[in-house]
Amino acid sequence: MESLRNVYGEIAWSRRPWPQVQVRPGADELSCGLSKEDRLIVWTQYAPSDWPHPDKLDVEGLRFYERVVGLQSAFCEENWEEVADFYGTYGPLGDPAVLKQKPLGERVGWCRQALAWFASLVRLVGLLQTEDDAGLWLWFESCLSRSPGGSVLLDLVRDGVPRGALLDQTRMRIELVPQAGRTWPGARERQRLYDLIWDAVIDAVQGRLADTHLEPFRRVLSRPSRPVVQWGFAAGGALDAAFLQWFFEIFAPFQRPTCERPGCDRPLPVGRRKYCCPQCANAHRKQRQRERERVR
């Protein structure tokens, strides 16, 4: 399949810092369903907004998306000072229900779940891309151990709100689905584990992208003959901006290495370093041997 054009990651994010935020108990109908989560992050004033590309917010080797992943622990530890610091610089994470809240604010429960989802996604993909078998098994088993017995789906999101209701059903899970009628992979089924988890993260990413729209975010129409319209993938808040940065730079460009025998190009099965199979390794070795003999 050939693409018509390379899409580079223009991200349309209207960053609007909330310089003074407070974490308050909120008794509104949207957040009170969650025990211990019935709190809101409210703000008293806006700072001026801008349209930064997330890359411009990388600081000293720390990527912006990593900063957002790190915010998860601030929420877990209830370190509101750090949370306020984040909001003061980057603005809201992007709770879709902001405008329905009274007072206006983001639900702490939503932020916790959304960050758990994103942090899980980023870390899982890191394990997959580096083929960290031990880390992957540990992750899988810890999710298995806390899932109710006999369930067909396994949610790979960790450090979320284990018993709370999901505040954003479609975008808060990374679901592992076993092939029809099959059990979960056992200790010696490495390839099956990788296949299942890759499928799960790809589906989760696809779900998020389904809500991402391409929009005109900058228009300069002062010269009628040369209108300038800049298009970007719309980020509803700091979390979407981080997700899109990670998607364009880490997730989408990743290629599984392919077989080194010229003309083969099959992706390398997990665990093989150069060739897809012993036949290709052999064939390439003989081919190189023949070439050397011809030179002599």
Binding site for Zn ion (CB under 5 A): 259, 261, 264, 266, 276, 280
Give the shortest CB-288-to-Zn ion separation in angstroms. Answer: 15
- Our CB check for Zn ion shows the closer of 97 and 281 to be 281
Question: Coil, strand, or helix at residue 239?
Answer: helix
- Our CB check for Zn ion shows the closer of 97 and 283 to be 283
Give the shortest CB-287-to-Zn ion separation in angstroms. Answer: 12
Q: Identify which of 236, 251, 235, 258 has the alpha carbon closest to the alpha carbon of residue 201.
A: 251
Give the shortest CB-286-to-Zn ion separation in angstroms. Answer: 14
CA angle, 94 as apex, 53 and 44 as ends, to 5°?
A: 100
Q: Are 12 and 233 in contact (CB under 8 A)?
A: yes
Give the shortest CB-258-to-Zn ion separation in angstroms. Answer: 8
- Our CB check for Zn ion shows the closer of 55 and 265 to be 265
* The two three-digit tokens of residue 147, written as one number: 């899932």
Q: Are 165 and 33 in contact (CB under 8 A)?
A: yes
Give the shortest CB-259-to-Zn ion separation in angstroms. Answer: 3
- Our CB check for Zn ion shows the closer of 132 and 265 to be 265
State the amino acid at position 33 in one-letter form: G
- Our CB check for Zn ion shows the closer of 23 and 264 to be 264
Give Cβ neighbours of residue 204 (< 8 Å, ≥ 6 apart).
117, 121, 173, 174, 175
* The two three-digit tokens of residue 168, written as one number: 């954003």
How far apart (Å, rounded) are the C-alpha atoms in residues 31 and 106? 10
